[in-house]
Amino acid sequence: MARNSTPPSTLIVSVDVELTRMTAAEIDQPGSISLADHRSRIASLQQLVQLFQQGEIPATWGFSNPANSQAIPELIDQEGMHEVALLGDASWVSLEKGRRGFCQQLVQRLADARRAGCELSTIALYDGQLQADFDLLAKHQISMVRQSRKKQRAGKDAPRHRTLRYGLWEAPRAISVAPSKKGWTGRSRMMINKVVRRTMRHGGIGHLVLDMTTGQYDSPRGIKFVAQVLEMLNQHQRDERLEVCTLRDLATRWQPSQQGVRARSLLRVAG
């Protein structure tokens, strides 16, 4: 294998868990979820995290406000196995909000997360669009950007290593899987299997996003579905056909080669 390259077949698993949009209506109105439902969701989320830990499947977990999530202590207490990412959306990451509004929200959310003991290096866009704000991300130690589904480049056109400005990396194009109103279906399973098989067949990097932002894990059926997916991934890892890692891990692997590019650029300038 070439120096600083990724293993032949690597799968990134991202889990979008809690999406809280900042709208005037949502701020003014009281929450519609009951205390009992809230506690049930917390218990189910903790069970979901335990499934990933038992299956030894690292993942990048997306939260709009990581500091406010009950699952964060358990995620950051696993010796670096999991990654917590900042989940952005169009309510604060958009052309309409402007650079100042984006900066205020970014700084506040990152500061809150760090006070809670959570160091973030990835921003994952559920929707919305970044402007030329990569300098702000780099300034606050963000190294990886997952674009929203609408902004991701087509698979054949997407390079394996794509740099943005200021030393940021763009995450590999992701296939997002979300359950229907009836829950996880055969189509969901088919899409996941397709991503895994294609990654192992062609090598390189696959990226799977499990969209659970509406609480689809909060049911025995949802938990069972995820458990089966993780069992499959764990088997492929044991067979050494696939390696699962986080976006943070990927950025760390890519970084040395980028430093080499910068060094060569400086040599050309010096010459």
DSSP string, 15-83: EEEE-----HHHHHSPP-S-HHHHHHHHHHHHHHHHHHHHTT---EEEESSGGG-TTHHHHTTSTTSSE
Q: At what angle do helices 186-202 and 220-238 cross, to 10 degrees?
A: 20
What mean pLDDT do residues 43-67 have?
Answer: 92
Q: At what angle do helices 35-54 and 220-238 cross, to 10 degrees?
A: 10
Helix (H) or strand (E) holding 146: strand 144-146
CATH superfamily for domain 9-270: Glycoside hydrolase/deacetylase (3.20.20.370)
28-41 per-residue burial string, b: 16 or more CB within 10 A, e: under 16: eeeeeeeeeeeeeb
Span 114-159, pLDDT tens digits: 998 899 999 999 999 888 789 999 999 999 999 997 655 555 544 4
Residue length, the chain?
271
pLDDT value at 161 more than 60: yes
pLDDT value at 20 more than 50: yes
What count of other Cβ atoms lies within 10 Å of the Cβ of residue 59? 26
- For the chain, what is the largest distance between any 2 Cα atoms, rounded to a whole number of angstroms? 68
Q: Which amino acid is at 151?
A: K
pLDDT value at 235 more than 80: yes
d(CA 85, CA 262): 27
* pTM for this model (two decimals): 0.85
- What DSSP letter does each residue of 80-104 carry, written as one string? TSSEEEEEE-TTTSSTTTHHHHHHH
Helix (H) or strand (E) holding 267: helix 247-270
Can you give the pLDDT at residue 40?
Answer: 76
